[in-house]
Structure 1
């Protein structure tokens, strides 16, 4: 099964086309919702599709597939006064969606490093043979530098000469002593729930805190010559009263 094609069809039919009947084609009856901003179940998803406003649009920028998991990186427009950048993670079984996680943040037009947007940069998978190597680098970096805060090991994993940071408010890898990510004094990475990889890209889904408030920390990296060369991220607060009780992870 081509899970990437499935996800493109889901985006085009369910969300851009706002076809509620497509929910029955693409979503399993046992669909489990982890997004704290959405109600659980297939019926709730159908209602969400029906409620999308006329001006809604979804721009799919990146698409990664790793066994039964598919990651979408894109921009939502038409809900609220400002667009949002989003990571959506789906589990697929027997050609249908069975589980969903996400993290959203405001989509800035520029950031403090002069980058055009939080979604700018390479998007195509050009080096499929790099998958396992990319996974190892990002997993090791996340566990040792972000979770264990061993900042002295940063140079083992990051290409400091060519590194590109897309986060709108992040100081970048050259800041001292902060690694990739926001202020090390305010963000705490905790549990690493999943690390996905395809080609030169790898994604870490982590649980943590920002100023002691619970956060979902979603980070996408591009690896080049065995080191991290580029980073995109969404760090989203987990509300105290989510719309479902399945947990954000």
Structure 2
């Protein structure tokens, strides 16, 4: 891989060439030998990932594949990609997170949420993607960490409104519109715990675990902030399976 590429550019190149075009030589070069897999759908190690890419390369491709929608946030050695993709004729919201070390893919997490709302799939991911307000990155990350601790985990409902703009936009299909709808949904959620927070300017991604109606889930919350408050929210949730193909954990 080219050493001058940023981590964000490396991840986009991997998706475009290794996954989209089947460039296995590129994949071989950019995956670390001690690669750690956390995906519930992936076997451990570099060899298993390369084998999955070989199988993907052999699958029939549509003549005019739709261009995936992509929102990407980079923070140091972590890169999160929020996507709407079509695979096997099915549309899915995906949050793919990678840790890079010395420019190589060292660790990977993800969550995949099949879309079942006919004709409304794009509303789950659509919206702004442009990064701005880079000088506010640390402040925005701190605000989301505080919100997660006080409201999502601490269940301090009366404090929720202070974190949102008045015309807050909700993309999560399980929550109603606005802060009122979010509160109603959160009452079915317990043990919300944020494990990682990464941010770039006006976008922050939080990797968390929770129990939804007593069922364990991993959830990635994507926030767009404006003037120190949450203006827009997306999420990708995936049930934690009873068994995993590795011992690395989903988080």
* TM-score, scaled relative to structure 2: 0.90
Aligned mate of 1:190, from 182, 189, 192: 192
1:54 corresponds to: 60
Aligned mate of 1:213, from 204, 209, 215: 215
Aligned residue-pair number = 241
CA distance in 2, matches of 1:109, 1:230: 22
Q: Which runs of 5+ in 2 are unaligned?
A: none
Mean Cα deviation higher: 55-64 or 226-235: 55-64
1:243 deviates by 1.5
Output aligned runs, 1:95-174, within 5 Å.
95-107=103-115, 108-109=117-118, 116-159=122-165, 161-174=166-179
> 2:84–2:122: 8 Å Cα contact kept in structure 1?
no
Two-structure CA RMSD over aligned residues (Å): 1.9
> 2:38–2:110: 8 Å Cα contact kept in structure 1?
yes
1:38 corresponds to: 42
1:110 deviates by 5.1
* TM-score, scaled relative to structure 1: 0.90
> 1:110–1:117: 8 Å Cα contact kept in structure 2?
no
Mean Cα deviation higher: 150-159 or 167-176: 167-176
CA distance in 1, matches of 2:158, 2:119: 30
> 2:92–2:112: 8 Å Cα contact kept in structure 1?
yes
> 1:110–1:168: 8 Å Cα contact kept in structure 2?
no
1:117-159 Cα offsets, whole Å, 9 max, x none, are 2111100102211211211111111111111110100122111
2:202 corresponds to: 200
1:235 corresponds to: 237
1:116 deviates by 4.7
1:77-104 Cα offsets, whole Å, 9 max, x none, are 123x421110011000001000000011
CA distance in 2, matches of 1:64, 1:234: 15
Q: Which runs of 5+ in 1 are unaligned?
A: none
1:74 corresponds to: 83
1:173 deviates by 2.9
CA distance in 2, matches of 1:55, 1:49: 14
**How has the CA–CA distance of structure 1 residues 31 and 232 changed in structure 2, closer, same or farther, with 3 Å as cutoff?**
same
CA distance in 2, matches of 1:48, 1:163: 40
1:193 deviates by 0.5
CA distance in 2, matches of 1:227, 1:168: 21
CA distance in 1, matches of 2:119, 2:170: 12
Aligned mate of 1:11, from 6, 9, 15: 15
